Amino acid sequence: MGIYESLMEIVGNDRVSNGQEERYFYSRDSGAQPSRKADYVVLPKTTEEVQKIVRLANRKKVPITPMGGGFTLSALAVPNRGGIVLDMKGMDRILEVNEMSRYAVIEAGVTQGALQSYLRRNHPDLQHSTPEAPPAVTVVANALIQGHGHISPRYGVNSDMINGLEVVLPTGEVCTIGSRSVGPSWFTRGPLPDLAGLFVGWYGTTGIVTKLAMRLYPKPKFRDVFVFSTDEIDLIPEAISGVTRLDLLEDFFLITQEKPDWMNHCFFVIILSAHGEEELTLKRDLYKNFFHDFAGGGKVDFVEDLHPALRKRFLDVPPLAALAADFRKGGGFEYTGAILPIDKIPEAWRKGIEISHRYNMLCSYVHQVLPGPGIMFGFNYSFNRADPKDRENTRKALEESNRLTYELGGMVWKGELEAQRMTMDRMDPNTLQLITRVKGLLDPAGIMNPGNWDPGERR
Ligand SMILES: Cc1cc2nc3c(=O)[nH]c(=O)nc-3n(C[C@H](O)[C@H](O)[C@H](O)COP(=O)(O)OP(=O)(O)OC[C@H]3O[C@@H](n4cnc5c(N)ncnc54)[C@H](O)[C@@H]3O)c2cc1C
């Protein structure tokens, strides 16, 4: 029996396709990477179906690329060697919300939007860490790529919030990780060997996560946004260090854009939350005083008259901080997510502006401060999707900002293949060998999202 017929036997006629339209759609994403080739698209509904598909893929030596929302912009869910795209969005059940221990158990296809509205309706005192990505992205893939959400500056990146997993291994066995592997509850990941690390950051090359338990957090009754601005780029590291040392904020991002002129400053956007008004006032005053006295005083201004529309956008969950981008006709948007030490921000800031200008783009930045403190420094580029030259320029700008990231001692987050090559070129050879051995051990047939974290892909 052929692959297509076998897939139909597993999931039925309606959830598999090798039609031209579906293959076109799944052969690209909305970023600037060139399109590649998907041969089959399958939407499994159950872990058992995923298992059967994986076993079939092993027998037929056909690659599998798991996909959530497909929104990394780095084509991480676009197949490199053809084969099956396993679109997980059909597995969309929220299986449990435990109010007492504060976690949710969800299937791999549950989107950010779905979990957010489910919690609002049924558990209004709880929230999950929501990235500023489109609502159609999946909670599971976001956690697996070490994404970050609106409470990450306070509680950690989203992969830190994983309590447990159910995974279909590349050889077809189903395996649970965390407290669920020894008892009925998903309340914690440790104290056990931390096997979640075998699936976090691997881009689907080590297994297919079918369920995930995600920590939830109390939703504060009061929230407010405070914005401060400066033109003293060299003071940013000290400001971040001081702001985070106070240890009172929920979210903290930095934005700027060259146009309109009033936006051409560095804005510190600080979201505070509290359970009472007094707590909020206290926190606000502490930050105002901090910036008032910062670096001898007079270096940072408090933005008193924040426009109500901006106030709303910053306080939305997720916030819409990316209004900074110089969106062009054609609507393309890309960014290098550079995870940088904060002392390198001034150099990154200046050199990033030069990169944008070299490719005739206006500079716009959105950076989120992460625990450490470190920063997700977004080198943002907008382009016309319909213009091949513009797409190529964007790829060159990404490559330059990836290289700059490494020169500055940082790392590229959710890197496209080229960025992964740069990472592997710089990696401790023993670490790279360990990665290769782990992949080989888990996926002896080499079927899982091949090309990613693959030293053979290096030039
Ligand atoms: C405008 C914009 C703003 C953004 N802002 C943020 C932000 O603030 N924070 C943030 O974290 N991200 C952000 N992103 C990046 C990205 O959209 C998110 O990280 C998103 O959550 C990725 O999820 P996804 O479902 O789209 O992943 P996919 O692209 O579908 O998958 C990502 C990787 O995980 C693998 N994978 C998917 N599902 C599984 C599975 N079940 N098992 C094993 N492997 C799997 C895929 O093969 C792929 O390698 C933004 C993107 C855009 C376009």
The Cα–Cα gap between 433 and 440 comes to 10
Cα 331-336-340 angle, rounded to 5 deg = 145
Q: What is the pLDDT of residues 59-106, one digit of tens each?
A: 999 999 999 999 999 999 999 999 999 999 999 999 999 999 999 999
Give the whole-number percent of the chain exceeding pLDDT 70: 98
Inform me whether the pLDDT recorded for 325 exceeds 80. Answer: no
CA–chain centroid gap for 95, Å, is 23
Mutational test site, ligand 1, from 33, 110, 137, 316, max ligand atoms within 8 Å of CB: 137
Going by CA atoms, what residue is nearest to atom 11 of ligand 1?
Answer: 147
Mutational test site, ligand 1, from 107, 145, 214, 416, max ligand atoms within 8 Å of CB: 145
Cβ(104)–Cβ(153) under 8 Å? no
The Cα–Cα gap between 196 and 146 comes to 12
Confidence of residue 321 (pLDDT cuts 50, 70, 90): confident
Q: What is the reported pLDDT for 323?
A: 58
Of all atoms in ligand 1, which is nearest to the CA of residue 204? 44
Rounded to a whole number of angstroms, the CA Rg of the chain reads: 22
Q: What is the reported pLDDT for 413?
A: 98
- Tell me the CA–centroid distance for residue 142 and ligand 1, in Å: 5
Q: What is the pLDDT of residues 94-151, one digit of tens each?
A: 999 999 999 999 999 999 999 999 999 999 999 999 999 999 999 999 999 999 999 9
> What is the four-CA torsion angle of 207, 213, 218, 223, rounded to 10 degrees?
30
CA–chain centroid gap for 81, Å, is 24
Inform me whether the pLDDT recorded for 459 exceeds 60. Answer: no
Q: Give the strands of the sheet with 251-257, arranged side by side.
A: 301-302, 222-230, 266-274, 251-257, 364-370, 374-384, 331-341, 411-413
* Predicted structure pTM score: 0.97
Cβ(210)–Cβ(107) under 8 Å? yes
The Cα–Cα gap between 293 and 435 comes to 48
Inform me whether the pLDDT recorded for 458 exceeds 90. Answer: no
Q: What is the reported pLDDT for 185?
A: 98
Mean pLDDT of the chain: 95
Q: How far apart are the first and last CA of the chain?
A: 38
What are the pocket residues of ligand 1 if the criterion is a CB atom closer than 6 Å to any ligand atom?
A: 65-73, 76-77, 88, 108, 131-134, 137-138, 140-142, 144-145, 147-148, 203-204, 208-209, 322, 333, 449
Q: What is the reported pLDDT for 301?
A: 94
Q: What is the pLDDT of residues 190-249, one digit of tens each?
A: 999 999 999 999 999 999 999 999 999 999 999 999 999 999 999 999 999 999 999 899
Q: What is the mean pLDDT of residues 432-456?
A: 96
* All residues at 6 or more sequence positions from 104 whose CB lies less than 8 Å from its CB, including other chains: 94, 96, 97, 98, 115, 119, 128, 213, 214, 216
Categorise residue 451: left if φ over 0, alpha if ψ from -120 to 50, beta otherwise: left
Of all atoms in ligand 1, which is nearest to the CA of residue 72? 16
Give the whole-number percent of the chain exceeding pLDDT 90: 91
Inform me whether the pLDDT recorded for 449 exceeds 60. Answer: yes
Q: What is the mean pLDDT of residues 382-408?
A: 95
Q: What is the reported pLDDT for 456?
A: 84
- Tell me the CA–centroid distance for residue 148 and ligand 1, in Å: 10
Largest CA distance in the chain: 76
Going by CA atoms, what residue is nearest to atom 14 of ligand 1?
Answer: 133
